[in-house]
Amino acid sequence: MAAMFTCCFGCCGEGGSGHIPLKEMPTVQLDTHHMGTDVVIVKSGRRICGTGGCLANAPLHQNKSYFEFKIQSSGVWGIGVATQKVNLNQVPLGRDTNSLVLRHDGSVYHNNEEKNRLPANSLPQEGDIVGITYDHVEMNLYLNGKNMHCPASGIRGTVYPVVYVDDSAILDCQFSDFYHTPPQGFEKILFEQQIF
């Protein structure tokens, strides 16, 4: 009988509790290792202010991603997707092949070309929620849960959510627990190990 207890308790390690700790999944947030030099990130990696841009800490590996931004204070801002090669000190983004962004004036830019534009009566204002879907081909925009039918494409490679601010703009990022239900088939950003 003593041998049986020794075997059972011995399998759990030397004096161990027998519990294997679960690996905590990382949280998607703004990445302080990939931001402009004059950017300030607060609220546990969810709020951006200052001047410049910042990437999120998770690439968009899954087929259909959704994330949101809330405009806390208006000014010059932009949101969308970008590669890690983007210059986060140069605003506005959308000037080169490394970013595809909606700008505060309603224009959507990639490679210094206007790819689309929000309707004039649908420009995001302070307090509004802008949702973004991305499916590795096309980025689509939602204003307070309503599809703006403003698709844009052209960016290639591994992309991350990106946001930039200037002129007193403050934006909050929402990578889970969304204000609005994601469109059918789209979901929060998953880290690569969560996909498999």
Which runs of E-coded beta strand occur in the chain? 30-35, 38-42, 47-56, 65-73, 76-82, 99-103, 107-110, 113-117, 129-134, 138-143, 146-147, 152-153, 160-166, 170-174
Question: Domain limits of the chain?
Answer: 30-174
Listed residue (128, 119, 132) closest to 171, CA to CA: 128
* Lookup: tokens for 13: 């390690």
**HSE-CB of 186 using CA atoms within 13 angstroms:** 24
State the number of CA atoms in the 13 A half-sphere of 146 facing the CB. 9
Q: What's the pLDDT score for residue 20?
A: 61
Q: Cβ distance 56 to 161 under 8 Å?
A: yes
**Residue 53 has which token pair?**
């841009």
Return the amino acid letter for 16: G
| Long-range contacts of 19-27, Cβ-Cβ distance < 8 Å, separation of 24 or more | 25/191, 25/193, 25/194, 26/57, 26/58, 26/191, 27/175
CATH class of domain segment(s) 30-174: mainly beta
Q: What is the pTM of this model?
A: 0.86
Contact 85, 98 (CB under 8 A): yes
**pLDDT value for 192:** 74
- Give me the tens of pLDDT residue by residue for the chain, a chain 196 residues long: 454 444 444 444 444 556 666 567 789 999 999 999 999 999 999 999 999 999 999 999 999 999 999 999 999 999 999 999 999 999 999 999 999 999 999 999 999 999 999 999 999 999 999 999 999 999 999 999 999 999 999 999 999 999 999 999 999 999 999 999 999 999 999 987 654 4
